[in-house]
Structure 1
Amino acid sequence: MGIVIRQSFWSSIAAYIGVGIGYLNVVVLMPKYLTPDEIGLYRTILSTAALFAPIPLFGLRSAFLRFFPRNTERQNGILVYLGVVVFGALSFILIGIALLLRPWLKTYFIENAPAINDYLWLILLLIFLMGVYGLLEAILKAKKDITTPSFIRESLYKGLQAVAVVLVGFALIDVHHFLVYQGYIYLLIIAITFVFVIRKFRFRFSASKSEIKDAGSGEFFLYARYALLSGLGTAAVLQVDQIMISKYLGLAPNAIYTTAIFMAVVIEMPRRFIAQITQPIMVKDFKAGRLQKINQDYKKASINQLIIGAYIFLGIVINLPNIYSLMPNGEIYSSGLTIVYIIGFAKLINMIFSTNGEIIVMSDHYRVNIILIASLGVMTVCSNLLLIPRYGIEGAAYASLLTFFLFNLIKFFYIKTKFDFSPFSKWTLPTIAIIPLCLFINSQFVYADFVLIDILVRSVILSLIFLLFVLFAKPSKELIEMWKRAGSKVGLGK
């Protein structure tokens, strides 16, 4: 477990560095140097590519992560060889279908976002490059290296994006070349990732029928088929709202929406890090039959995620007027303020329901979670089709809130029925009650003209409220221990 915790720590550092760079990109550089239509075009191209990237990947990323630990190095080499062959064949087929359907595809965005039609070739290229990077990243993670891909994806990738925007700002490249630059960015991070992969893994370029059978290829590809559904469902949840906004409303509304989305996504980041640490622990506990311990960890993860998530959520929303006032052309993007509230609340719901997905995946019921995620993707598409034309970008946000709530509720009842687990404790409702309390207190103060001072004052008041709650109500032993350790390092306690 030591290596998992250490790598989770360093991958968390990489992710928060990425958040800082991402904030610079999304809230400062892009609004300053790109128009809303240009940002919307950029976002839609990346979202469309990310939506279809799981098709050639065929669930191979998840399959590598699941089968590498149980196989020998030789068997893993065979599975990677087969996976690369499948990926290449599916990429070729997907590109061929796209070229055949090109006349129809051009009609999809023609009404409100025709500029995308000039970049269908770039979307296809990015689908392929995202897939190649995804395969290499999965191999590294399967070899128990989560730190390297985290730094590449979260820090390096976003840093290169910032460089591209600055080049546009100084008129060294135009927007067209900025978009083309996305392909070069992926080529670079693929090359860097490949260097790390070949240091840890030996590729094979052929395999006999007996070797393929001995490597468990049948079970491997059966799992990959289920994982494909999961990948498509996840991609739909993350990307389809942005694509539909561009189709029905135009590129500029998508820029406003995605800018707001970025602020809300930060809320859920601690959940990813907790999941990285708890997953291997759950695997051992399920094998040992320690179900009661899993239930206790389920509750601990829920309350810790809720406290941290609520703190980040409130820290963002009480300062939203200040954030938009500091943002270049913030008067344009401030129309997305409500989106931050809605999506932020959806992320909080995910955190309250804790590690429900991980519990299902690490048990013998993993197929259920995959089917549920695929169903979530369908729900996301249907709800966006219904709500975006009627309610605009807020409709997309409400669609996400509705689908995330239903998705988590279904998983909760399934886990309750199968294992009698629950993420809720006596501190769940009191912690939730702090949210409206803090919003009420915040509403009693008029926003000051000195923006940075105003942010500081509101953030200090919020921090004091949460600190007092954690120390005196003691809803989380883990957070109290963290506070004691931090205090001892600065001479505030033993």
Structure 2
Amino acid sequence: MGLVISQSIKNTLTTYLGFGIGAINVLFLFTNFISDTYFGLITFMLSTANIMMPLMAFGTNNTIIKFYSIFKTRQSQNSFLTLMLFLPLVVIIPVGFIGHVAFDTISTWLAQKNPIIKDYVWLIYFSAITFAYFEVFYAWSRVQFQSVLGNFMKEVFHRLCTTILLFALYFEFINVEELIYGIVGIYFLRMLIMAIYAFSLRQPIIKFKKFKSLVKVLKYTSLIIVAGSVANLILEIDKFMLGYYVDIEKVAYYGVAIYIASVIGVPLRSLHQIISPVTAKLLNERNKVELKSLYQKSSLNLFIISGFIFLLIILNINELYLLIPEKFSGGLLIVILIGVAKVGDNLLGNNNAILFNSDYYRMVLLLGVFLVIITVVLNMIFIPLFGINGSAMATFIAILIYNIAKILFVKYAFNMMPFTIATLKTLSLIVVCVVIFYFWEFQFHPIINIGLKSILVCVFYGYMVYAFKFSDDISLIINKLLKRS
């Protein structure tokens, strides 16, 4: 776990820096500098582009991670990477042609509830392309075991640039339409920078030559589109469907609550950047002993960390809502439901990496399609009944079912479970902290209250984890920090 822990810590710090900047944007700048309608429009656009991204990438970002380590010669690697560079065009070009021909039909359908969407539909397509090729170039660098700069571009760069654009809007250097085009331009620039960095690590040598395992690679990349689409659909379909069923400004209210809860997913996002190629390597080497160890360690460490973040959010959520405009503060149930779902994602450890990089990915794809159908149906039922809270309920149920199914499948296929006795101890600690601290309020300014309660939770939670040795990896990190101090 040495390389994994080292780069994961760097990635986690970088990701939280990005989320901190993003929190300022979402909770304070967007909510005060632009109208709810345009905030909802931007949220809808980017969520829809994220839904399209796996299709536009044609699964090549996952394929690079899975197969790169099996090619041992420079010639075979060059041929493989050349295919990965050009394969997304197989989808991008036809989709663009269909979109051009049927633009009026598509845009009218998307804008039924909110006509403002119609003028920006083509930006969704363009954004999806930049998202897709960014992931391709990021995977290119990750297989060289260099994920830190890419993680910075993925988590920090676009949020920092968006902050600059929002202040430019506030000081009237640009208008809101230019802000929207500027945000899309940021993602395009991010893709270009990532390409330059990836190519500096491994210069592309264009080789259109058949290589061993070509059929296997093409079959995988074609099917893995579904897997990537499933993951993105479950995460983003709620905001897309809200844009179809409710007024666009309510998408903004929902987006704020979702962003707060999404902070809990940062440890998994950070770990995944480096652990996915490591998992693929262990699978290719059929090293089941190390794979099981990695599975259980990643699950436990992520559960401890994400559980702590969950506590900081849930225990301070009422004070946090006092700091933002009141109209955005009705998302407590959304934060709780999505927060629990995010902790569940972390509890699975490198489960996704095991499934997507193994020979069992076909069954996972079938399961994923079934769960997407459930997600869509639940949203169609719950949104008209409960509004934005209904969408959170649908997402929570879908993620819960999906995660349980993935745990059971890995148990069946590899005879491994991610849980240990320490998992139960961590769960008990989280419950105890909620019982002790949730109703403990200070009578000061909300920022001071958040700071005081966070310190108390941090000391209590950290002491319990360290004193009772929940995790050797986390204890080792704490020991290093104590020695430095």
TM-score (norm 1): 0.90
Partner SS for 1:319: helix
What does residue 475 of structure 1 align with? 470
Give the whole-Å Cα distance in 1 for the aligned partners of 2:277 and 2:165. Answer: 38
Does residue 226 in structure 1 map to residue 223 in structure 2?
yes
Give the whole-Å Cα distance in 1 for the aligned partners of 2:348 and 2:341. Answer: 11
What does residue 82 of structure 1 align with? 83
Task: Report the Cα offset of residue 153 of structure 1.
Answer: 1.7
Is the 2:169–2:175 Cα contact (8 Å) retained in structure 1?
A: yes
Task: Report the Cα offset of residue 447 of structure 1.
Answer: 4.8
1:433-444 matches, within 5 Å, as: 433-444=428-439
Task: Report the Cα offset of residue 138 of structure 1.
Answer: 2.5
Which one-letter code corresponds to 2:376 in the other structure?
Answer: V
Partner SS for 1:318: helix
What does residue 144 of structure 1 align with? 145
What does residue 183 of structure 2 align with? 182
Change (3 A) 1:383 1:115: same
Task: Report the Cα offset of residue 284 of structure 1.
Answer: 5.5
1:243-262 matches, within 5 Å, as: 243-262=240-259
Match of residue 316, structure 2, among 294, 316, 319: 319
Change (3 A) 1:251 1:136: same
Is the 1:232–1:374 Cα contact (8 Å) retained in structure 2?
A: no
Give the whole-Å Cα distance in 2 for the aligned partners of 1:69 and 1:288. Answer: 10
Which stretch has the larger CA shift, 103-112 or 243-252?
103-112
Which stretch has the larger CA shift, 275-284 or 311-320?
275-284
Give the whole-Å Cα distance in 1 for the aligned partners of 2:196 and 2:444. Answer: 51
Change (3 A) 1:360 1:91: closer
Match of residue 339, structure 1, among 334, 337, 343: 334
Task: Report the Cα offset of residue 286 of structure 1.
Answer: 4.7
What does residue 416 of structure 2 align with? 421
Which stretch has the larger CA shift, 453-462 or 413-422?
413-422
The C-alpha deviation readout for 1:373-422, integer Å capped at 9, x for no partner, is 44433332222222212211111111111111111111222222233322
Task: Report the Cα offset of residue 91 of structure 1.
Answer: 1.4
Change (3 A) 1:426 1:200: closer
Is the 1:226–1:371 Cα contact (8 Å) retained in structure 2?
A: no
TM-score (norm 2): 0.92
Match of residue 301, structure 1, among 298, 301, 315: 298
Change (3 A) 1:176 1:417: same
Which stretch has the larger CA shift, 194-203 or 52-61?
194-203
> Percent of counterpart pairs with the same letter?
25
Does residue 105 in structure 1 map to residue 109 in structure 2?
no
Is the 1:54–1:228 Cα contact (8 Å) retained in structure 2?
A: yes
Change (3 A) 1:281 1:195: closer
What does residue 117 of structure 1 align with? 118
Give the whole-Å Cα distance in 1 for the aligned partners of 2:61 and 2:455. Answer: 42
1:3-402 matches, within 5 Å, as: 5-71=5-71, 72-205=73-206, 207=208, 211-212=209-210, 214=211, 216-276=213-273, 278-279=275-276, 281-283=278-280, 285-286=282-283, 291-327=288-324, 329=325, 331-402=326-397
Is the 2:147–2:274 Cα contact (8 Å) retained in structure 1?
A: no
Is the 2:312–2:457 Cα contact (8 Å) retained in structure 1?
A: yes
Is the 2:78–2:207 Cα contact (8 Å) retained in structure 1?
A: no
Is the 2:143–2:277 Cα contact (8 Å) retained in structure 1?
A: no
- Across the aligned residues of Structure 1 and Structure 2, the Cα RMSD in angstroms comes to 2.4
Partner SS for 1:354: coil
Change (3 A) 1:132 1:426: closer
Change (3 A) 1:291 1:76: closer
Is the 1:57–1:87 Cα contact (8 Å) retained in structure 2?
A: yes
The C-alpha deviation readout for 1:307-327, integer Å capped at 9, x for no partner, is 221211010111112212222
Which one-letter code corresponds to 1:159 in the other structure?
Answer: L
Partner SS for 1:143: coil
Which one-letter code corresponds to 1:197 in the other structure?
Answer: A
Which stretch has the larger CA shift, 100-109 or 152-161?
100-109
Which one-letter code corresponds to 1:383 in the other structure?
Answer: L
What does residue 463 of structure 1 align with? 458
Task: Report the Cα offset of residue 88 of structure 1.
Answer: 2.5
Change (3 A) 1:58 1:310: same
Task: Report the Cα offset of residue 180 of structure 1.
Answer: 0.9
Unaligned runs of 5+ in 1: none
The C-alpha deviation readout for 1:174-197, integer Å capped at 9, x for no partner, is 111111112321232233223223
Give the whole-Å Cα distance in 1 for the aligned partners of 2:415 and 2:477. Answer: 30
Is the 2:338–2:392 Cα contact (8 Å) retained in structure 1?
A: yes
Task: Report the Cα offset of residue 204 of structure 1.
Answer: 4.4
Change (3 A) 1:379 1:73: farther
Is the 2:130–2:188 Cα contact (8 Å) retained in structure 1?
A: yes
Partner SS for 1:335: coil
Which one-letter code corresponds to 2:352 in the other structure?
Answer: G
Unaligned runs of 5+ in 2: none
Give the whole-Å Cα distance in 1 for the aligned partners of 2:272 and 2:52. Answer: 26
Is the 1:76–1:215 Cα contact (8 Å) retained in structure 2?
A: no
Is the 1:248–1:389 Cα contact (8 Å) retained in structure 2?
A: yes
Change (3 A) 1:413 1:83: closer
The C-alpha deviation readout for 1:325-381, integer Å capped at 9, x for no partner, is 222x2x011011221111001111222233322333344423333443444333322
Partner SS for 2:322: helix
The C-alpha deviation readout for 1:55-74, integer Å capped at 9, x for no partner, is 23211111122222222333
Which one-letter code corresponds to 1:306 in the other structure?
Answer: F
